[in-house]
Structure 1
Amino acid sequence: MKPMTKNMWRDIGHSKGRFIAIILIILLGVLIFVGIKAAGPSLNDSADKTVKDAKLSDVQAYSTTGFTQKDRRLADKVAGAKAELVKFKDVVGGKDQSAVALYGYSKSAKYNKLSLRSGHMPTNSREIVLDELAKENDGYKLGQTYTFSKSANLKHRTYKIVGFADSPMYIDDSTRGSADVGDGTVRYFAYIPQAQMNLKVATMMDVGFSKLQKKSTFSDSYSDAVNRKVTALKREFKSRAKSRTRALLGNSITQLDQQLAKISAAKKQLQAAGQQGGSAADLAGQQNVTLNKEAAKLKTAKTKALAAGETTYTWQDRNDLTGFQAYGESSDRIAAIANVFPVFFFLIAALITFTTITRMVEEARSQIGTFKALGYAKWAIAKNYLAYALTAGLIGTVLGAVIGNTTLPRIVLALYKTYIPLKWVVKFQWGDIGWALLFSMIATVGAAAYVVWRELTEGPAALMRPRSPKSAKRILLERITPLWNRLSFNRKVSYRNLFRFKSRMLMTIIGIAGGTALILTGFGIQDSIAASGSKQYNDIIHYQATVRLRTAGHEDKADQILNNNDQYHSHTDVAANVGDLKANGHQVNDVNIYAPESVSQFKRYVTVRSASTGKSLNLPKNGVVLTEKTADLLHVKVGDKISVTTTDNKQGKAKVTGITENYMGHFMYLSRSSYKQLLNETPTMNTLLVQLNKQTDKQRKSLAHKLINHGGVMGTSYVKDQQTTVTTMSGSLKPVVAIFILLSGILSFVVLYNLTNINVSERIRELSTIKVLGFYDKEVTMYIVRENIVLTIAGIIVGYGVGELLTGYIMQQAATAQVIFPLTIHPTGFVVATILMVVFTAIVMFVTHKRLQRIDMIGALSSNE
């Protein structure tokens, strides 16, 4: 082994603590950087593999009049399409008469294959497979009998439970969507043999595209490709709706028209008879009344037939499936956090590593001078320290990359318990690993190269002598004479030393501030996500339920049910619609449009206040008020105009008169007069915003059930359910945040220990001197501790500010198209961050005290010359 190589290994052996500290700091930085950056892609890849293995269809279509084989062949005309017909309907069943999404099972089905948790698929006509949620939440077991209500209209009402399964159409176990039966909320799905469903035609059509299977479900390219396919399908089915309607209603409408024509002819004859006067006229009048009643009945029947028989299609893709968008947004939030938090974390680690390597080389001045005096070339000398730095950097990077990439994504996947079991896919993120390696090499090899070449510019004689110590200067505190004179000698020395070594002071403050900020950010992420729901449903929304009427303006039955309910408080009527808004080349879809019957009452149910000033906003007679996120996505401000297109194809333009505070969803508020001007129709009150007293889950379910079955209501949506969704969203990030806080704490401790260790090593002669002069061990320790206490306090205070800025930036990046996360950090975060940093400082000071007790004063004070 060459002398220089031997020297490097001796250096590592003599400074094991520093070498290990460098490895640990790099390891932690790379681990969190690579690990968290890999979590988002792993979530997406795992969900993508799960749904692809289950053959989840790319597009799902629903028809009010069903699909025939002609429809399937029409869909197959789109390039690459393969369509499949399915019988589906929402029914009521089970011991609690719950709303159930019922599907017809077919062995030959190619799409949306179930993943069995237990049991088997139906093998005869009287068997049923239930959602795993039915087992977990409602206690159903294999072998039990399951009974549907009569309204389900099935060939049999009772079936034997033979299996429990998961479906790729329902990846989020916290929700199964809504329905217009039962209590309005689907509890679970079920599959029975397709022949058992009394449906003449299929009600659902699944469409898959072979080329799309090569794309990731959550990628932009997949989304764009699916949108193009949906557009192509709509184009193929553009004229199909009319022909389907004519085919279904042709005979019945013709018969009704014929009967109406006969009545019309009879009325003309009676009119002629009535002109004769006398008893004939009286008889004609009576018969005419009867004919008018018959004509009215026939017209009503014709209107109902047209309404029931009119064919309309609903098209959706994977992103429209229940829970699918929430999952994508959840992984996007982690990806957004990963673009900021780990980078800041890694920068702190790299900065401290740079300082450590710099100090190490500067301490070896005399050794470098000796090598230079012995005739070694600059490169030969530099290689010694570059190899040292390279070894530490590579070990830290490799260990951090492997541990981070293989463990953190799996921990995150394991803790995503609100979703169906996913098939884990964790790939090495080579791009992120490459960036981590680059930054690690800059922090280690780069630091060593910079300092070594700087030292090598000096001559051997200068290098073999210790660098002249910095002279003390008067500090600002000294100019405050009354205060300075009251300080002890030890305190004066400590405060002078703080400003004497400015780079050391700066690095310690940065290290402590960085650790504090990272811990605080961990708490801030969780608090801010939770705050979006808290602010929305406490500060903005003041109603507990939304009730949608079947027929606008007919709320008598619903009123009666509500008034007889003990939890009912009050309600207000609104004309509710859904539309797409456009402005400045941007578009926001599915915006909730509310036009209240009474503006004054509406203010008790929804707070409408300026997002910028916080002042209350009035709904204008001409114009609209948009919520903050909606206006932001449209790039509009007060005074700009927007275009509105409702789901029933009503169009208009309106001026934005206000932008209101809002945290979840898209809303547009306007007065009745504005609604009429905008859409050229009088608004009809079709929705009730209901205030309720505290209810149990059972009471909410009971009220919704009564309203749907007896109150002329299409559905009831509870704010409590939306709050639960937000809570679930926040809870899913808790494990990730806990990992952040844990690793931030470890990094903070290692950084603090390393900086204190450097501080002691640099001043060993100084500390030995005051110990020789008779200072006690505690006094020698306090010589260092006083500086650390001041720097810790300063670092914590700076960390508070940096933590808030970092949290705010992360939450801005994590915001979705539907949600705004307000910057929120509860006092708990500040308290925990402070306590942790104080505890770390105390531990480091204790270790330092023990070390200072064992100082070799003679060796430290011996001359280097």
Structure 2
Amino acid sequence: MKNKTIIISSFRKMTQSSKRFISLLCMALLGVGFYAGISSTSQDMLSTLDSYLDQTQAYDLQIQSTLGLTKADVTSLEKLSDVASVQGIYAKDELIEPVARTTTRQENDETAIAKVIGVPKQLNKITLVKGQLPQKDNEIVVEEAYLKKNKVKIGDSLKMNDPDLTNETYQIVGTVKSPLYFSKVHRGTTSLGDGRIDYFMYVKPSVFKQDMYSAIALTVKGAKQEMTSQTAYLDRISAAKKEVETIKNAQETQRFETVYADYLSPVALASGQVNRDSLPPAKWYITDRQDDTGYKDFVDATKSIAKVGRVFPVVFYVIAVLISLVSMARMVEEDRSEIGTLKALGFSNPAIALKYVLFSLSATLVGGIIGMIIGLNLIPNLIWNIYTTLFVIPKFIVLFQPIYCLTGLAIALICICGGALIAVYRELIYTPSILMRPKAPKAGKRILLEHVPAIWNRFSFSNKIVMRNLFRYKTRAIVTILGIAGCTALILAGFGLKDSITDIVNYQYGNVFKYDKLVSLKANTDDKTLLNVLSENDQVAHTANLSMATKKVSSHGKAYDVTVVVPDDTKTFKQVISLNDINRDKQAVSLNGNQAIVSQKLAKLLKVKEKDTITFKDSRDEIHEVKVGKIVENYIQNYVYLPKATSQAILGEYETNVIAIKLKNKLSAQADQKFDASLMTNQSVASVINSKTTVTMINDTMTSLNLVVLILIVSSAILAFVVMYNLATINISERKREIATLKVLGFYDQETDAYITKENTIFTIVGIILGLVSGVYLCHFIISTCETDTLMFVRHVNTISFVFATALTVSFTLIVNVMTHFSLKKIDMIDALKNIE
């Protein structure tokens, strides 16, 4: 019976203190919703990618060869125990020209470059969007972007001049999506045109006249049952790759002997006209999904979101603890007389505490459940819609993630209900006689300012009261300041994270990389002709010969694949890449001696500093140690710079495979494309990487992450408003008698408002100052948490971000002050001043 009375009383309290109930509900809603939503987004995105790749039977491993691949290679691979299925792939890079349109041809039409692939039967299955798949050799399907950008339609035709294909003209019969090209940004490189692949297209395999495959795709047994990119999946792929490598040498030798059978006959070799070592070898390149840039970008994005989801909610919950503690403490204080009566009637302490636990529990459960529903549906879909600007995957999968929901709700229950228990048990220690009497008001004390007459005497009467009240209600003042500071810090951290993300591209391609083009050379070719052409070009300011290769570098038990850069000449090298010492105010350093220069992120990952050593593995898997000379500025990818002599000592003979070009002036888009196309006509050039294109691709990726940060900023702003409104409501309820007395004494509404709003303003100013300072440190902490192994965010917050964070907090204070005005007008003076004894 007693428990029933307590329960009824608790539900009545919910209606009587509806504002307090709603504020606790909002705290739980924001905390649980944000935690569950942002935490599950990463898993939802990864599950979506995994499901899509599984449904389309996307490759786990892919093999390419310098001399092509044959059915014999497929047969050998099928015999391996770790391999589930194998499929040969026909593909070629082609110049595409639209013809025979149903619409009028545009004057600015340009030839596009496309990867043309044979329609797969088993692996890497394509998804039909519109129309139909090719039924004849003269039919082709394309991606939707080709139709939109080139203003063509299904039914129009395109042209490819290639003697290795059965047809020259193809009719577009449909549009498709491909698991090989779910990234809109990355299409790969080519030796055609300006070196960039613009689109992918599919034709019947019979269109290709070639006997050899361009690549072989294979899936690994058991890999489909594991989540892509996770440890269990990667372990299976690693094991399968090692097994493939066991037949690699034999298949390479067999292919070499077949291709050069005529050159390797005893008669030809005896004549001395043919040198076996001078013939290009048949070399296999075994890659997995991790080697695909688009795939890696997607996985890195999910990791970044997951890391943000582990940091931001912590601050949400800390603020929730403070607010719930103050809110429930005030409610308990208002009910002191009732609590004393219940104790006198024989109710136990746990039974009395049940009333307030039910109050906070109901608010938390209702808010938490609403937060789950909103968070699990709104946040993942919102973030996914942002990433659809970069990735094309047919269907986004939103999963119910019980672990995140229950964890978020459990934390909210501990924070809010725990605050209620602490508040009520602080009062239950007293006897009924003490509780049934009103709590003695806090005694007024002289404050520090009163001892400075020169300042104190200049204050008006109302301002003196305000200053005394600031120090009189210390707990509320501290909680208010901390609440505002926490929210301001969250908002500033969001803006600071945006600044740090946005600026890394400008810093990398402004402070570090000075070149405009990076030209990759074909193997075993003479670069002198190309260098002569570039030296005679009026648009070229500087060129530098470089050797660039991916090597495994290790230290302190950790190993990473990094790009090793070796310049042919240090003088020309300085013109295209700047090495700025991070330990000496980014002073330019020279690449000399026998020491390595390491980029700052790699130094952090390997835990090395100047004069430490790093370890290289050469092509023979022999270990070489090199001392670290300097640690230099770098933001994207990881680099080690070696002097030419040092490189030759540990990695073998130097060979230029890249030429970096710096132009005298920035070119227009059309002139830039023309310059790249002219480079690709040179027989020595394999591909051209345009810095403008690279910057655009990275900026597109960073823009999506910026929009995710915007969600954090909005969530923090909402939290700030809830906190400030809640604290203002507590302040008014705490001082009803005081405010009613002022009204009876004849204070006008504006004077009564100022009595409260001045305090809010002072608290806001102090909270903003503390919040801006702590926000910088919070931003740096989040950045260090969210960085991937290949990114180094800029550690700074722009001045405008401080302005935005301050403006948002001030605007919420003004809104709360307006709402406070109406709350003060509703105070019933007779009810507030009546004797409660």
TM-score by length of 2: 0.94
Aligned residue runs from structure 1 range 14-29, under 5 A: 14-29=16-31
Aligned counterparts, 1:188-203, within 5 A? 188-203=199-214
Deviation larger for 162-171 or 845-854: 845-854
Alignment of 1:343 with 2:357, yes or no, is no
Note the alpha carbon deviations across 1:407-432, whole angstroms, 9 max, x for none: 21111112212110342221222122
Q: 1:334 — aligned with what?
A: 305
Does structure 1 residue 165 correspond to structure 2 residue 165?
no
CA distance in 2 between counterparts of 1:322 and 1:600 reads: 33
Give 2:106's aligned residue. none
Residues 227-246 of structure 1: per-residue CA shift (max 9 Å, x gap): 11111111132322113212
Q: Distance in 1 between matches of 2:343 and 2:621?
A: 85
- Select 1:780's aligned residue among 752, 766, 788: 752
Which residue number in structure 2 is paired with residue 226 of structure 1?
237
Distance 1:40 1:223 in 2: 18
How many angstroms does 1:153 deviate by? 2.5
How far apart are 1:641 and its partner, in Å?
A: 2.4
**Corresponding residue of 1:389:** 360
Q: CA deviation at 1:649?
A: 7.2
Find the residue that maps to 1:94 and give its secondary structure: strand
Mapped contact 2:613–2:627 kept (Cα < 8 A): yes
Within 2, Cα distance between the matches of 1:173 and 1:835? 37
- Where does 1:682-761 land on structure 2 (aligned, <5 Å)? 682-684=654-656, 686-710=658-682, 712-761=684-733
Give the superposed CA RMSD: 2.2
Match of 1:30 in 2: 32
- Pair 763,83 (structure 1): closer, same or farther in 2 beyond 3 Å: same
Cross-structure match for 1:287: none
Matched, 1:12 2:14: yes
Alpha-carbon distance, 1:859 to partner:
1.6
Q: Which amino acid aligns with 1:39?
A: T
Q: Deviations over 1:707-757 (max 9, x none)?
A: 122352111111112211221111112332222222211111111011011
Matched residues in 1 for 2:654 and 2:424: separation? 81
Name the aligned partner's letter for residue 83 of structure 1: V
- SS of the aligned residue for 1:353 comes to helix
1:460 to 422, 432, 443: 432
Match of 1:99 among 103, 113, 116: 113
**Structure 2 residue matching 1:237: 3-state secondary structure:** helix
Deviations 1:242-276 (A, max 9, x none): 13212332333226625726xxxxxxxxxxxxxxx
Is residue 147 of structure 2 the alignment partner of residue 135 of structure 1? yes
1:269 aligns with none
- After superposition, the C-alpha distances for 1:828-861 in whole angstroms (9 at most, x for unaligned) are 3222221111111111111212222232222211
2:319 and 2:60 mapped to 1: Cα distance?
A: 44
Answer whether contact 1:119 1:142 (CA < 8 A) is retained: yes
Equivalent in the alignment of 2:395? 423
Amino acid at match of 1:816: T
Q: 1:120: which partner in 2?
A: 132
Query: What residue in structure 2 maps to residue 864 of structure 1?
Result: 836
Structure 1 SS opposite 2:803: helix
Residues 604-643 of structure 1: CA deviation (Å, up to 9, x unaligned): 3212121222232221221211111222222322222223
Change (3 A) 1:531 1:442: same
1:365 aligned partner: 336
Distance 1:314 1:746 in 2: 52
In the alignment, what sits opposite 1:624? 596
Question: 1:712 and 1:132 mapped to 2: Cα distance?
Answer: 34
Give the aligned length.
Answer: 821
- Ranges in structure 1 where 5+ consecutive residues have no aligned partner: 262-297
One-letter code of the match for 2:77? A
Shift of 1:807: 1.3
Q: What is the CA deviation profile of residues 17-66 of structure 1, one whole-angstrom value per residue up to 9, with x for unaligned ones?
A: 11111111211111111111111111111111111111101111112222
AA partner of residue 129 (structure 2): R
Distance 2:536 2:154 in 1: 40
In our comparison, the structure showing a higher alpha carbon Rg is: 1
Q: Give the secondary-structure state (helix, strand or coil) at the position aligned to 1:573.
A: strand
1:316 maps onto 2:287 in alignment: yes
Secondary structure of residue in 2 paired with 1:409: helix
1:67 aligned counterpart, secondary structure = coil
Query: Quick check: 2:542–2:575 contact (8 Å CA) kept in 1?
Result: no
1:149 aligns with 2:161: yes
Aligned to 1:272: none
- Shifted more, 777-786 versus 684-693: the winner is 684-693
Q: CA deviation at 1:694?
A: 1.6
1:478 maps to which of 426, 450, 474: 450
User: What letter matches 1:35 in structure 2?
Assistant: G
Instruction: Give the drift of 1:792.
Output: 0.1
Q: Secondary structure at the match of 1:689?
A: strand
**How many Å separate the matches in 2 of 1:104 and 1:364?**
78
Match of 1:592 in 2: 563
Letter of the structure 2 residue corresponding to residue 136 of structure 1? K
Kindly indicate whether the alpha-carbon contact (under 8 Å) linking 2:600 and 2:632 is maintained by their aligned counterparts in 1: yes
Shift of the alpha carbon at 1:164? Answer: 1.6
Contact 2:61 2:289 in 1 (8 A): yes
The answer to whether 1:413 aligns with 2:384 is yes
Distance apart, 1:299 and its partner CA: 4.3
CA 1:622–1:560 in 2, change beyond 3 Å: closer, same or farther? closer
Contact in 2 for aligned 1:584/1:634 (Cα 8 Å):
yes
Task: Give the residue type in structure 2 aligned to 1:45.
Answer: S
Once the two structures are overlaid, the 10-residue window that deviates more, 86-95 or 392-401, is: 86-95
Q: What is the distance in 2 between the residues matched to 1:649 and 1:130?
A: 44
Amino acid at match of 1:125: D
Q: Secondary structure at the match of 1:397?
A: helix
Q: After superposition, what is the alpha-carbon deviation per residue over 1:523-554, rounded to whole angstroms, capped at 9, x for unaligned?
A: 12222111211211111111111112336783
Amino acid at match of 1:442: I
For residues 780 and 860 of structure 1, the distance between their equivalents in structure 2, rounded to whole angstroms, comes to 15
User: How many angstroms apart in 2 are the aligned matches of 1:558 and 1:551?
Assistant: 14
2:268 to 257, 263, 268: 257
Cα pair distance change 1:314/1:541, threshold 3 Å: same
Query: 1:85 is paired with a residue of what secondary structure?
Result: strand
Contact 2:618 / 2:650 at 8 angstroms: preserved in 1?
Answer: no
**Contact 2:545 2:569 survives alignment (8 Å):** yes
SS of the counterpart of 1:630? helix
Q: CA deviation at 1:680?
A: 4.3
Alignment partners' CA distance in 1, 2:472 and 2:269: 105
Structure 1 stretch 799-808 or stretch 749-758: which is displaced more?
A: 799-808
Residue 110 of structure 1 deviates from its aligned partner by: 0.7
Q: Map 1:532-547; keep pairs closer than 5 Å.
A: 532-547=504-519
SS of equivalent residue, structure 1 residue 749: helix
SS in 2 for 1:90: strand
* Distance 1:518-1:256 versus aligned 2 partners, 3 A rule: farther
1:500 aligned residue:
472
Q: 1:101 to 1:651 in 2, by over 3 A?
A: farther
Q: 1:653 to 1:381 in 2, by over 3 A?
A: closer
CA 116–698 in structure 1, closer or farther in 2 if over 3 Å, else same: farther
Greater displacement, 455-464 / 574-583 = 574-583
Match of 1:665 among 628, 637, 643: 637
Cα distance in 2 for residues equivalent to 1:4 and 1:679: 80
In 2, Cα distance between the equivalents of 1:555 and 1:64? 21
Give 1:686 deviation, angstroms: 4.5
8 Å CA contact 2:542, 2:572 repeated in 1: no
Residues 437-494 of structure 1 show CA distances to partners (whole Å, capped at 9, x for unaligned) of 2222223322222222232221222111111111122322223221112111211111
Amino acid at match of 1:630: L
Give, in whole Å, the separation in 1 of the partners of 2:552 and 2:150. 39
Give 5+ residue unaligned stretches, structure 2.
99-109
Partner of 1:284: none
